[in-house]
Structure 1
């Protein structure tokens, strides 16, 4: 068996020009055009398109509404409806802008993303430690990862897409600041190896990976199955664990990226404690910009024994 790192292949191949990929090429060209637009022109277009998305995204909206009702039972139907409207608007706005991460300069990335709290990262670096950044699935996560990669050696991990052209484009974007992108099947060992090579990375603890090895811990007004692996990974790789939040400010047309203080190692000793610490970190990040979280994901799919599915 090959022991080569399981990176995504970012080389351009002639097969990507096959006619079956032409619709994807058209979509990429459209995204590039939007990426080249100034935000003052692009954002109003996104708001208009968001109204169309709201009409056709019935199934994702049902999942998002179920998540919100479980997490925030105190919210009225009107409050949830407004949050969903804002969520769709931010999704379209950020999606249409994302190609700028590949086609525009690093200087543009610095201008678009204002970074706060980097002193926590610097303190870890001064101590000779890499960082495991904790961030749930938020719309601006690509901006967060690439902005930090400007000042910090980083790698990432992603699930392969069935569309090879989309895979190529997306991973060219994600690696535009020099970080390698691992395939998900590379596993935890690959990430541990990167920590030992002084590379930092993002860990997304909000994904529901099923009941196997997961621990239920409080999550807003409900409970969530969380996989407690970060504490052991950080200890083995001599890394610090820091939550990160990012939000798009529509008025200023900029992102605000904030690195939060590191989670104390003792808070993640034991699976139950770690699951609780991770869920608390995720709550903090989501609560900062609740309208910019990917609520359409089935993050509450796994339920405690005897409890019915919320979906």
Structure 2
């Protein structure tokens, strides 16, 4: 698939090759399970999957534990262990949430949503201003993206194609058939055009994407966390609004959709390092709404500012 925007999907008979049957079967089973079982049972199933993954994924347990130790050095060991456990339960639930997002009908999907505050998005929509909607790698990110579309605020998601053709086909369909569109993560010019024409672009500035187009600024307790400069590049070149957003699950199992803070007025767009540090403060605020639901399994602090220091040394 060579399109830079993934809004229309074309089926090919090659996708029915026997080598792909296990993928079709797997997603078919997932669609069946999420549509037949009640949500509370799905929630329990997701948590059990996560605990099973925790049992067999010791290397990821180590990464999550180490990330939390680095981010919160004063947190007691008991609290860290409990946070890691809850994080894995939510990681298992992410598989179920993917199925819910891609395969539930809209009427049922809406029953999980709480439009807690999306006024900032609605204001910019009325003004015709493009919005860089900065979210984080929450484990329920699939839910959040569809939720904005269902609530009347669809946008463009930055997308990396999957190597498996059938997985890629289903993934694109799942993410686009409810109002959202995907744009290739390498197509920065198209992202700028999207923002300039007054649309919304979902953007995730919270991971360590490597040294290219990054600076080293504070993120939680680490003073030199590798942080993307993509936010400032997109904001400066498109003159868009910047809104922070999230969709974390509350104690009742509902997803609270928030996009209520515009930060573009004080955002130091021309200073990449100051801009990244400024953005990280808001990213921290978002994560702290529900830290057990953020992707701690990713090596957030793997890239070192000193190039002579081994990458990932903090996880040894």
Same fold (TM over 0.5): yes
Matched, 1:33 2:32: yes
- Give, in whole Å, the separation in 2 of the partners of 1:307 and 1:67: 18
Correspondence 1:232-311 to 2 at 5 A: 232-249=233-250, 251-269=251-269, 270-305=271-306, 309-311=313-315
Q: CA 1:105 to 1:113, structure 2 compared with 1: closer, same or farther past 3 Å?
A: same
Task: Indicate the residue corresponding to 1:19 in structure 2.
Answer: 18
Deviation at 1:282, TM superposition (A): 1.1
Task: Indicate the residue corresponding to 1:69 in structure 2.
Answer: 69
- Give, in whole Å, the separation in 2 of the partners of 1:119 and 1:126: 11
- Give, in whole Å, the separation in 2 of the partners of 1:144 and 1:71: 25
- Give, in whole Å, the separation in 1 of the partners of 2:91 and 2:280: 23
Matched, 1:168 2:165: no
Q: Is the 8 A contact 1:220 1:283 kept in 2?
A: yes
Deviation at 1:264, TM superposition (A): 3.3
Q: Is the 8 A contact 1:210 1:302 kept in 2?
A: yes
- Give, in whole Å, the separation in 2 of the partners of 1:304 and 1:90: 31
- Which runs of no fewer than 5 residues in structure 2 stay unpaired? none
- Give, in whole Å, the separation in 1 of the partners of 2:50 and 2:209: 30
Task: Indicate the residue corresponding to 2:201 in structure 1.
Answer: 201
Q: Which string of whole-angstrom CA distances, capped at 9 and with x for unpartnered residues, describes residues 19-42 of structure 1?
A: 111221222122112321221221
Deviation at 1:283, TM superposition (A): 0.5
Residue aligned with 2:255, SS: strand
Correspondence 1:152-167 to 2 at 5 A: 152-167=153-168
- Give, in whole Å, the separation in 1 of the partners of 2:175 and 2:200: 14
- Give, in whole Å, the separation in 2 of the partners of 1:163 and 1:228: 30
- Give, in whole Å, the separation in 2 of the partners of 1:180 and 1:163: 20
Moved beyond 4 Å, runs of 4+? none
Deviates more, 1:42-51 or 1:75-84: 42-51
Q: Is the 8 A contact 2:137 2:294 kept in 1?
A: yes
- Give, in whole Å, the separation in 1 of the partners of 2:3 and 2:39: 41
Q: Which string of whole-angstrom CA distances, capped at 9 and with x for unpartnered residues, describes residues 172-199 of structure 1?
A: 11112222212223x2111011112322
The structure with higher relative contact order (CA 8 Å, sep 6+) is 1
Aligned residues: 307
Q: CA 1:181 to 1:85, structure 2 compared with 1: closer, same or farther past 3 Å?
A: same
Deviation at 1:102, TM superposition (A): 2.6
Q: Which string of whole-angstrom CA distances, capped at 9 and with x for unpartnered residues, describes residues 78-122 of structure 1?
A: 211111110111121232132222322223232212122211111
- Give, in whole Å, the separation in 2 of the partners of 1:79 and 1:286: 17
TM-score for both structures, normalised by structure 1:
0.91
Q: Is the 8 A contact 1:83 1:291 kept in 2?
A: yes
Task: Indicate the residue corresponding to 1:54 in structure 2.
Answer: 54
- Give, in whole Å, the separation in 2 of the partners of 1:188 and 1:176: 23
Matched, 1:139 2:143: no
Q: CA 1:213 to 1:41, structure 2 compared with 1: closer, same or farther past 3 Å?
A: closer
Q: Is the 8 A contact 1:136 1:205 kept in 2?
A: yes
Task: Indicate the residue corresponding to 1:107 in structure 2.
Answer: 107
Residue aligned with 1:298, SS: coil
Deviation at 1:6, TM superposition (A): 4.7
Deviation at 1:156, TM superposition (A): 1.2
Q: Which string of whole-angstrom CA distances, capped at 9 and with x for unpartnered residues, describes residues 196-224 of structure 1?
A: 23220111111222223311111111031
- Which runs of no fewer than 5 residues in structure 1 stay unpaired? none
- Give, in whole Å, the separation in 2 of the partners of 1:143 and 1:271: 31
